[in-house]
Each structure stands twice: as C-alpha cells, then as structure tokens.
C-alpha cells in the first residue's frame, strides 16, 4: 500500500509522498530495475546504485491561480550515481539503453491517451 499526503503548504501533514512525488519514485524504481537487470544481462556487477531525482513545478498551476502555468512538472532531472565493475563508457551506454526501454520514462515523455469517466 502506498500512502499519500501533501506537505503543510498544501494543508497536509506530509505523512507520505504526494502524487507528483510518487511519479518521481515510479521513475526511479523503473530506471533502477532496468539498470540492474540489463547490467546483469551484460555481465556487469552493480555494487551500488543511487538516484537523485527532482522536478520543478509551479503551484500556481495546480491551485488554478494561473491559466498559463501547467499544473504538473515543467522539467525533471535524473542523476545516477553508480559503482560497478564497468567503464564509464559501458555505464553511459547502459544508461542510454535503459532510457529507451523504460515504460515509466516513456509514459512521462510521451503523450498518453487518458480517459476520465465519472460513474
């Protein structure tokens, strides 16, 4: 179960990730699994893998205070920190491949047809 909440600025108590933070977590999880799985397939041993992911968003869009500011992330930055028995070039190649095959990154980067229905 994933518990969600909002920070105090949005009248929450910050007991858990809010929805947009959960998106970043999903991205890190997907990239991490893809990185480790594909490294193993190439015979690369990963000793440690860390992500630093941040996204920029303007609350004016979410709160409906602006019609020109989008409610979601304006940009997302992902930084990897990897310790492995591979060269920098091999890790860069692996990182590129994982980006091409990540379902979550694909969902974030490309428009997805979404239907919302009230029943």
- Residue 75 forms beta bridges with which residues? 56
Please report whether residue 71 resides in a domain.
yes
Percent of the chain past pLDDT 90, that is, above it, reads 82
Please report whether residue 116 resides in a domain.
no
Whole-model pTM: value is 0.88
- Split into its structural domains, the chain has a count of 1
8-29 pLDDT tens trace: 777 788 788 888 999 999 999 9
Please report whether residue 66 resides in a domain.
yes
User: Mean pLDDT throughout 106-114?
Assistant: 96
Query: Burial letters for 24-60: b for 16+ Cβ neighbours within 10 Å, e otherwise?
Result: bebbbebbbebbbebbeeeebebeebebebebebbee
Helices (H), 1-119: 19-41, 59-62, 88-101, 103-109
Please report whether residue 38 resides in a domain.
yes
87-99 pLDDT tens trace: 999 999 999 999 9
Q: Which residues contact 26 (CB under 8 A, 6 or more apart)?
A: 104
Please report whether residue 119 resides in a domain.
no
Which is nearest to 26 in space by CA: 47, 59, 62, 2? 2
Please report whether residue 22 resides in a domain.
yes
Domain that holds residue 88: 8-105
pLDDT of residue 7: 78
Distance between CA 76 and CA 23 in Å, rounded? Answer: 11
CATH number of 20's domain: 3.30.300.20
């Amino acid at each position: 179960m994933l518990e969600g909440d909002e920070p105090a600025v949005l009248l929450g108590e910050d007991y858990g990730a809010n929805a947009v933070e959960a998106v970043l977590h999903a991205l890190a999880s997907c990239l991490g699994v893809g990185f480790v799985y594909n490294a193993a397939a190439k015979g690369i041993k990963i000793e440690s893998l860390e992500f630093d992911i941040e996204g920029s968003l303007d609350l004016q869009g979410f709160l409906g205070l602006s019609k020109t500011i989008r409610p979601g992330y304006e940009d997302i930055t992902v930084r990897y920190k990897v310790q492995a028995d591979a060269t920098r070039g091999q890790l860069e190649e692996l990182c590129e491949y994982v980006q091409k095959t990540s379902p979550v990154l694909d969902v974030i980067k490309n428009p997805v047809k979404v239907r919302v229905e009230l029943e």
